Amino acid sequence: MDSRVVVLTGASSGIGRAAALAFAARGDKVVLAARGLADLEKVAAECGGDALVVPADVTVREEVDALARAALDRFGRIDVWADTAAVMVYGRFEDIPPHVFDRVVTADLLGPANVARAALRVFRAQGHGTLITASSLVGHITAPNMSAYSTAKWGLRALSRTLRQETRDAPDIHVCQLVPGSVDTPIYTSAANYAGFVGRPPPPVDSAERMGAAVVRLADRPRRELSVGATNRLIEFGFVAMPPVYDLLVGPLMGRLGLSQRRTPPSSGNVFASRPRVEGGPARFGRAAVGAAAAGAVALSGVAALALRRGAATPWRRAGGGAGVRRK
């Protein structure tokens, strides 16, 4: 393929940084955007070539529009726009200050909406383009202590599907969504926190590089959604098919696996302002934690298998109007 022009919002760390490096290694021209200039410049140096750095906050529509103009002024087009910018807050809903909750939803839902608006305007004008948004497994499920993040990601999933419906008249415009499971990135340790313990990605944990490669894969071969995570589908199945079992297990598992044992005072983290990048976090797990994850997976799998067996063994007959009625 020829070299592409790729705009990356959220490029200063985590998945965005990994994707930027992967695109640059492939020979694509990259435009790097995030709130923190110092970290962006470090990523640009790692990318090499003529990487363009444009500090921008996705929650500020004017800055997103200026980012699009800067990319067009430098390169003349935008072929791919990958948005991975996000912030997070831990804590029970009632313990999270309202202004922090609102800011997380703004950054993780209205921010991507700003990006989509700017990207689609360019794509419509040039007749092609691929928009990639980063959702999350918690855009398909819910978990205690993550109400704001989950709310935003569920909304982003709805927005992405709507955009796909509204661009059906433009076959060369693609709207894709990456759905990562647990990833070793700074978002957990830099998150706002009102849960009392530093957050961490529950096992199994993927690398940011694997997710960055998935972003490139979506750019190469656009598809509606790409879920990356060994247990994503199992967890989603448990959430949808067995709500009582899921709700029974998710609280204890989140407390054991989603929060570390390192205490932390209440803090707004990087929700309102960027912080210097520190890759990774307390993602190491002892045998007890790994055992808890395995036990939870086994429990879900066992109940799922039982439910499927019972469903297969239940005879059905057709009744008036075509409705399926269980035979007694």
Tens-digit pLDDT profile for residues 75-84: 999 999 999 9
pLDDT tens digits, one per residue of 135-190: 999 999 999 999 999 999 999 999 999 999 999 999 999 999 999 999 999 999 99
pLDDT tens digits, one per residue of 231-265: 999 999 999 999 999 999 999 999 999 999 999 99
Residue among 20, 13, 51, 49 nearest 34 (CA)? 13
CB 85, CB 116: distance < 8 Å = no
Q: What does the alpha-carbon distance between residue 176 and residue 103 come to, in Å, rounded to a whole number? A: 25
Tell whether the model's pLDDT for residue 277 goes beyond 80: no
From 90, 149, 188, 246, active-site residue:
149
Query: 5-315 has which fold?
Result: Rossmann fold (3.40.50)
Sketch the domain layout of the chain as residue ranges.
5-315
Q: Judge whether 149 counts as a catalytic residue.
A: yes
**Average pLDDT of the residues in 199-204:** 95
CB 90, CB 259: distance < 8 Å = yes
Reported pTM: 0.87
